[in-house]
Amino acid sequence: MKGLFWRFRYHLAVFFAVIGPGFVTAVVDNDSGGILTYSQAGAMFGYLPLWTLLPITLLLIIAQEMCSRMGAVTGKGLSDLIREEFGLRATFIMMALLVAVNLTNVMSEFAGVASSLELFGISKYISVPLCAVAVWFLVVKGNYQSVEKIFLFACVFYITYVISGFLVKPDWKSAALYSVKPVLLLEPSYIYMLIGMVGTTIAPWMQFYLQAAVVEKGVTAKEYGESRIEVIVGCFMTSVIAFFIIVACAGAIYHAKGPTDIKDAAEAALGLKPFGQYAFLLFSAGLFNASIFAACILPLSTAYSVCEGLGFESGVNKRLREAPIFYFLYTALIVVGAGVILIPKFPLVQMILLSQVLNGALLPLVLIYMILLINRKELMGEWTNSGWVNGVSWFMVVFMIGLTLAYVGITIHSL
Amino acid sequence: MTEQLLYFTELISMPVYDLKGRRIGRVKDAAIVPLVHAARIDRFLVGGEYSWLTIRYDQVRSLSLADGIRLSDEQLVPYHDDEYMLRIGRDLLDQQIIDVNGRKVVRVNDVTMTIAHDGQRDTVSVLEVDIGIRSIFRRVAQGLMPPRWIRRLQWRIPPNSIRWDFANVVEPDPQRRLRLNISYTKLEEMHPADLADIVEELGPAERGAIFETIDSEAAADALSEVEDPKMQVNILESLEPEKAADIMEEMAPDEAADLLNELEDETSEEILDEMDSAEKSEVQELLEFREDTAGGMMNTEYVALHDNATANDVMAALRGNEDLLDGLNTLFLIDEEERLTAAVPLARVLIAAPETRIRELASDTLIQVPVNEKENRITEIFDKYNLLTLPVVDEEGKLAGVITADDVISVLRAR
């Protein structure tokens, strides 16, 4: 028995040894927004949206790699760099948009908390305020560092989707086919779904978070090689899980009951149907962990980015009097983000999906700044982008703007 | 002679008129030449029809918000980049500077200047560097509404500024640092812990600049106060080996050894080669021990006297070792074979008669550990016996070094 325990401890040690900023970011990437957006994609369109995963993975790798490279080479955060190179007004606009979009993301994390615990019959009027207070204290007063490891470990829950993906006995041939065959429907709901999928996978706030984490860890240009590998592995992991969530939901929902618009967490939990009576339990535990993990990181990362960019003092090791704006922003994001969820009959799942679409709409702007920054010789020296990376990223910027405009256009047209 | 305020945001795009009252362009930037005058705006850079022109301060007849800049001399030369110029818009705005008085890093939003009229000409001088919300408002509103409105609206927001004499610009390029007359002597007078906090907030290039420039003693003190070991290593690696060696010599040998241990072998060899032989051999001895044992924790800065020394001898010994006095609280007695025989609390010597043999003042029990004692056991001993200093002896009982309470605190904090 003791031998088993020691072996387990050894595996845990190895598990945590490889963890760096890239891995954490990849795990937080599949937050409540991620789970529900992919579930929705599978439930509504079956295998159709699978083709997006390859280009999304490519773009995710390119974006994350650029951020961590900038962090390692310059030793500065993304908002710091935007401020120093583009001035205050550009930073101010970027930060205002980031706060607005991230607020909807915080809402979606608390919506995830509410809907996951509602499956256990716990009213959101109890769960959300409790969790909001817990998150605030954990990050400001408590020892977040050690709790982070628990969160990370609990993320093995995603494996249930991989198992479920096999158990629903999917049509592997067509799944493989649709993974490489682009299908573009000019339907508002389909385009909305695509923007959301890109937005949830490559969320703007993650770029700020990852770069800050790389800087915080003190990675230098010389050691950057290891970080790059970690980032790329993390990106693949994110996409593999996304693939299985879509396949599981396509099998368990789309093919079983026809196209379904997921309205609440109970419907999304059907993606784990092969687990029978445990599906609800597994789903809600996983969703809860993912939501609260991201709820810890998101408001904090937002407050840091804004304060750094605008030059206010920041940090949880500072006193309230030293960094009033930082604490105000951090607290406001949590209070408003959790408060909105308490409005009676608030459409939780729709809120989560909307926040991911807003992510997708803001992404091109962040990418444009990133591409401009990383190509500055005086900033990056020999570490500027190569030609093909620039080509792909500019193409993605144009494509995302195109998708967003197409969605706006079609929505206006159909009014 | 009257004075009035002018913000840099107002100076930018102010029209410039020649002797006949024709507009020749708008102000694009303004520069100080620190070697000539620390605060006076020496050059105004004006965007003319085709290129930028330079206006010297003595070519300005009048300058006001309402009336723009009127020249007294139209012999303007085209602008070319001059390394002796500190350009406010390019080099100061949006960059991080050090507030020496408030001991923190801040970001420049705007610059407040004064206009002095002496009958012959109007001279503009930098008065304060603006941080905080009021100056953010000015920057965001700049150009969107007339300056008069901005001035009227901003009074509701409390100002937040730093006097120009307390603002220390950080310039990574040593050549330019010389030409811009930037020195960091003010930082040397700061408490090392404050300086370390400042350094932690800057980017790697700026960090290196400060450690290169300040004297080795201040650098050593600040470096040992930097909390993150990874950052200490990065700083050392960024310095020239000579400078790094100078800093190492000023550090306590145990801390220097710990740091060298963290470096790559090649780098630490380089640094050791540059060190003076006395300090080098002390550090090298310590490098032999494992980090988590008494040998790795101890330092070799202690005062040891022969067995039958008197209080008088103590005073004589201390007079020759002033640099040890700051942290000294215990004296050690050794016999002819250099074996440790007793420990004497320093305070007891103070009140003893000059001829007293200090052996009589020794603590009742001699607590000592061998060099290979484990870290855990040492913290236990410190706790159990309420120690400030613990002697470490080698296999033959010879005094090898001492562990002080701050070493134990570092170990505990690192857990």
| B104 in A contact zone (CB under 8 Å) | yes
Counting Cα atoms < 13 Å in the Cβ hemisphere of A132 gives 25
Cβ-Cβ contacts under 8 Å, B95 against chain A: 84
Predicted pLDDT at B298? 86
Separation between Cα atoms, residue A412 and residue A232, nearest integer Å? 39
Q: What is the pLDDT of residues B218-231, one digit of tens each?
A: 999 999 999 888 89
Among residues A145, A132, A63, A140, the alpha carbon closest in space to that of A291 is found at: A132
Among B128, B83, A59, CA closest to B138: B128
| CB contacts < 8 A (A, B) | 43
Split at pLDDT 50, 70, 90, the class of A1 is very low
Task: Give A279's pLDDT tier (boundaries 50, 70, 90).
Answer: confident
> What tens digit of pLDDT does each residue of A189-240 get?
888 888 889 888 889 999 999 999 888 888 888 888 888 888 898 899 899 9
What does pLDDT average to over chain A?
A: 87
Q: Is B145 on the interface with A (CB under 8 A)?
A: no
CB contact under 8 A, A84 and B95: yes
* Cross-chain CB nearest to B109 (options A76, A218, A311): A311
CA distance A308 to A236: 30
Place of tokens 């092969």: A274
Nearest-by-CA chain A residue for B134 = A310
Determine the Cα–Cα distance for residues A194 and A270; give it in Å rounded to an integer.
22
pLDDT band at A5 (very low <50, low <70, confident <90, very high): low
Tokens of A20: 């760096």
Q: Give A356's Cβ-side CA count (13 Å radius).
A: 32
What's the confidence (pLDDT) of residue A186?
Answer: 80
Q: Which residues of A touch B139 (CB under 8 A)?
A: 87-89, 92
Average pLDDT estimate for A70-83:
94
Residue-by-residue DSSP string for B123-188: EEEEEEEE-SHHHHHHHHHBTTB-HHHHHHHHTTSPP-EEEGGGEEE----HHHHHHTT---HHHH
CB-nearest partner of B106 from A76, A220, A311: A311
Residues of chain B below pLDDT 70: 1-3
- With a cut of 70, say whether residue A16 has pLDDT above it: no
Interface of B with A in 198-217 (CB under 8 A): 203-205, 207
Contacts of A310 in chain B (CB under 8 A): 107, 136
CB A220 within 8 A of CB B234: yes
Tell me: the pLDDT tens digits for A353-362? 888 889 988 9
pLDDT at A2 over 60: no
Beta partners for residue A19, in sequence order? none
Inter-chain residue contact B204 with A220, CB threshold 8 Å: yes
The predicted pLDDT at position B329 comes to: 87
Q: Which of A200, A210, A209 is nearest to A361 (CA)?
A: A200
Cβ burial of A66 (10 Å; 0-12, 13-18, 19+) is: buried
Which residues in chain A touch residue B108, judged by CB atoms under 8 angstroms apart? 311
pLDDT digits over A365-399, tens only? 999 999 999 999 989 989 999 889 999 999 989 98
What would you report as the CA-atom Rg of chain B, rounded to the nearest whole angstrom?
Answer: 30
Between A332 and A413, residue with greater pLDDT: A332
For residue B402, give how far its alpha carbon lies from the nearest alpha carbon of chain A (Å): 32
What is d(CA B368, CA A39) in angstroms, rounded to the nearest whole number? 65
Q: What is the ipTM of this complex?
A: 0.82
- Mutation target for A interface from B88, B107, B133: give the one with most A CBs within 10 A: B107
Q: Please report residues of B whose CB lies closer than 8 A to that of A89.
A: 139-140, 142
The per-residue pLDDT for B126 is 95
Q: How many residues does chain B have?
A: 415
Q: For a pLDDT cut of 70, what percent of chain A falls above it?
A: 95
Please give the single-letter amino acid code of residue B229: P
Distance CA(B294)–CA(B313), nearest Å, equals 29
CA distance linking residue B393 with residue B404, whole number of Å:
14
Model-level pTM? 0.82
Mean predicted confidence (pLDDT) in A174-202: 87
Which of the pair, A207 or A414, is modelled with greater confidence? A207
> For residue A14, is pLDDT > 60?
no
8-state DSSP, B239: S
Burial B190-205 (b: 16+ CB within 10 A, else e): bebebbbbbbebbbbe
- Asked if B231 is an interface residue toward chain A (Cβ–Cβ < 8 A), one would say yes
In chain B, % of residues over pLDDT 90:
36
What number of H helices and E strands is found in chain A? Answer: 19, 0
Residue with tokens 């998708």: A403
Do residues A196 and A360 make contact, with C-beta atoms less than 8 angstroms apart? yes
**pLDDT, tens digit (0-9, with 9 covering 90-100), for A117-168:** 888 888 989 999 999 999 998 888 877 777 777 777 777 778 888 888 888 8
Q: In what order do the strands lie in the sheet with B96-99?
A: B104-107, B96-99, B167-169
**Residue B68: count of CB within 10 angstroms of its CB:** 16
Average pLDDT over residues A267-280: 80
* Secondary-structure breakdown of chain A: helix, strand, coil percentages, each rounded to the nearest 5: 85, 0, 15
Render pLDDT for A314-343 as a digit per residue (tens, 0 to 9): 888 888 888 899 999 999 999 999 999 999
Mean per-residue pLDDT of chain B: 88
In chain B, residues 283-342 whose CB comes closer than 8 Å to chain A:
none
The answer to whether the beta carbons of residues A217 and A21 sit under 8 Å apart is yes
Predicted pLDDT of residue B85: 92
**d(Cα A350, Cα B34) in Å, to the nearest integer?**
59
